[in-house]
Amino acid sequence: MKKYKHDSVIIKLVSMISNRLLFIFAFVFTSPLLSTESLIFNRPADTAQSRYVIALISQAYQQSGYQLSLVDFPRERALTAANTGELDGQLARVIDIEKTYNNLLRVPTALFSFQLLLIHKKTQCDPCQINDFNKISIVPTYPAANNFLEQHGFLGEIVEVISIKSQLTLLNQELTGAILVLDFHLQAEVGTLPANRYKVQPVNNTSSYHYIHNSHPELHQRISSLLKQYESNGTLNALKAKHQVK
């Protein structure tokens, strides 16, 4: 009789331990916090802003149980690929691209602000308006410039090139009347332009946001919550300061 009780206690202990082990294994292999799933984004141009965004978004994804994977990808195809799900979203894009690429969900916290600059050599107008020019050059892989021209009813010719250096070459050769560039791309690619040669005119202030493909609705909610938290607890500003982003 005593042996039976002793065996019964052992069986109960083994059963309890087994159940706990099963629970632990189930948690380890199913918990989203311990997931190693990778989400794929195209690698952006190397600027202070992109380094800051990569650090910020990587932290949010790691905290959500995902790994941020950056791949080299043709920039002219990046938005379309993100919209079709070939990429999982866009690290940072100007507000309202979801109106054109409607499979992308915008995370509502602004990542950083920037200026759109109109650069030209005119002396007859100060400030100049876009329709003071017959031709304006843009880099089409960044929608901010084209959106601005559409919103303000530009009537002239849009000249598309692949870089700011190419835009400046056109301007110097008088093959375009003006160029539209993002201020932080200008700083990263060219630096400060000589004031005696160029008129640099800010024409629009806007912000960049993180975008996630709509096949990840729960992740979108999670990242939205985390970035809002990072904004309120100082994490976002600390990373901006570290990477010297305004």
Residue 82: half-sphere exposure toward Cβ, Cα within 13 Å: 31
Using one digit for the tens of pLDDT, what is the confidence trace for 19-68?
444 434 444 344 444 446 999 999 999 999 999 999 999 999 999 999 99
Q: What CATH number has the domain spanning 32-112+207-242? A: 3.40.190.10
Using one digit for the tens of pLDDT, what is the confidence trace for 62-114?
999 999 999 999 999 999 999 999 999 999 999 999 999 999 999 999 999 99
What is the Rg, in whole angstroms, of the alpha carbon atoms belonging to the chain? 26
Domain ranges within the chain, ordered by starting residue: 32-112+207-242, 114-206
Helix (H) / strand (E) element for 185: namely helix 183-189
Domains 32-112+207-242 and 114-206 share a fold: yes
pTM of the model as a whole = 0.80
pLDDT of the residue at 36: 66
Identify the CATH homologous superfamily for domain 114-206: Periplasmic binding protein-like II (3.40.190.10)
